[in-house]
A and B are shown apart, each in its own frame.
Chain A
Amino acid sequence: MTLSGQPSAVSSQQGTLTPQLQAVLIRKLTALADDEIILAHRGGEWTGHAPILEEDIALANIAQDELGHATLYLDLRRALDGSDADQLAFFRNAGEFTNVRLVELPKGDWAFTMLRQFLFDAYEALWLDAARGSTYAPLAEVAAKAVREERFHLQHTALWVERLALGTEESRRRTQNALDELWPHVAQLFAPVPGEAELVAAGIVPDLGEVRARWEGFVVPHLTGKCGLLLPLTLADAAEGRDVHTEHLAPLLAEMQGVARQHANAEVW
Chain B
Amino acid sequence: MTQPQPIPDTQWSRWEVFKQDAPNRPWQAVGSVHAGDPDHALLTARNVFARRPSAVSLWTVRESDILTATPEELETRPEVQDTPGEAGTYHLGLKRTHKRSMTFVDLVGTLEASGPGDALRQAREAHPDALTWLVFPESGVVRTDDDPGTVESWFAPAKDKTYKQQQYYGVIGKHVGELKREGKMPGRVNEEPHVGDHKVYDHPHDKAPKVQR
Binding site for B on A (CB under 8 A): 1-2, 52-55, 57-58, 61, 86, 90, 145, 148-149, 151-152, 155-156, 159, 163, 259-260, 263-269
Contacts and interface: CB of A to CB of B under 8 A. Distances in A.
Contacts of B43: 58, 155-156, 159
Given A2-B170, A54-B34, A54-B48, A163 B40 contact: yes
B149 to A, nearest CB: 7
B174 A267 contact: yes
Given A2-B169, A52-B34, A90-B172, A57 B47 contact: yes
B172 A54 contact: no
Interface stretch (B104-112, B117-125, B152-160): B152-160
B19 interface: no
B44 A54 contact: yes
Interface string B145-165: 000010011101100100000
B36 interface: yes
B97 to A, nearest CB: 27
B62 interface: no
22 contacts: A2-B170, A2-B171, A53-B34, A54-B35, A58-B43, A61-B47, A148-B152, A148-B156, A148-B157, A149-B153, A151-B152, A159-B39, A159-B43, A260-B171, A260-B172, A263-B172, A266-B173, A267-B184, A268-B179, A268-B185, A269-B170, A269-B173
A152 B110 CA distance: 31
A55 B48 CA distance: 9
Contacts, number: 73
A58 B48 contact: yes
Given A1-B169, A148-B152, A268-B173, 18 more contacts: A1-B171, A2-B169, A2-B171, A54-B44, A57-B47, A58-B44, A58-B48, A61-B51, A148-B156, A151-B149, A152-B154, A163-B36, A264-B172, A265-B173, A266-B172, A266-B173, A268-B179, A269-B173
A259 B47 CA distance: 29
B11 to A, nearest CB: 9
Nearest to A259: B171
- The interface residues of chain A, by DSSP majority, are classed as helix
B171 A156 contact: no
Contact of A152 (B36, B46, B169, B174): B46
B153 A145 contact: no
B176 interface: yes
Which size bracket describes the interface of B in this complex? 20 to 34
B175 to A, nearest CB: 8
A266 B184 CA distance: 13
Interface in B3-46: 12, 33-37, 39-40, 43-44, 46
A149 B157 contact: yes
A52 B185 CA distance: 39
Contacts of B33: 54
Nearest to B169: A1
Nearest to A260: B172
Nearest to A267: B173
A86 B40 contact: no
A90 B184 CA distance: 25
Nearest to B45: A54
B169 A52 contact: no
Contacts of B149: 151
Nearest to B151: A148
A149 B184 CA distance: 38
A118 to B, nearest CB: 13
A259 B173 CA distance: 12
Contacts of B179: 267-268
A259 to B, nearest CB: 7
Interface in B38-89: 39-40, 43-44, 46-48, 51
B153 A54 contact: no
Interface string B178-194: 01000011000000000
Contacts of A55: 44
A263 B172 CA distance: 9
Nearest to B173: A267
A260 B184 CA distance: 21
Given A148-B152, A148-B153, A148-B157, A2 B44 contact: no
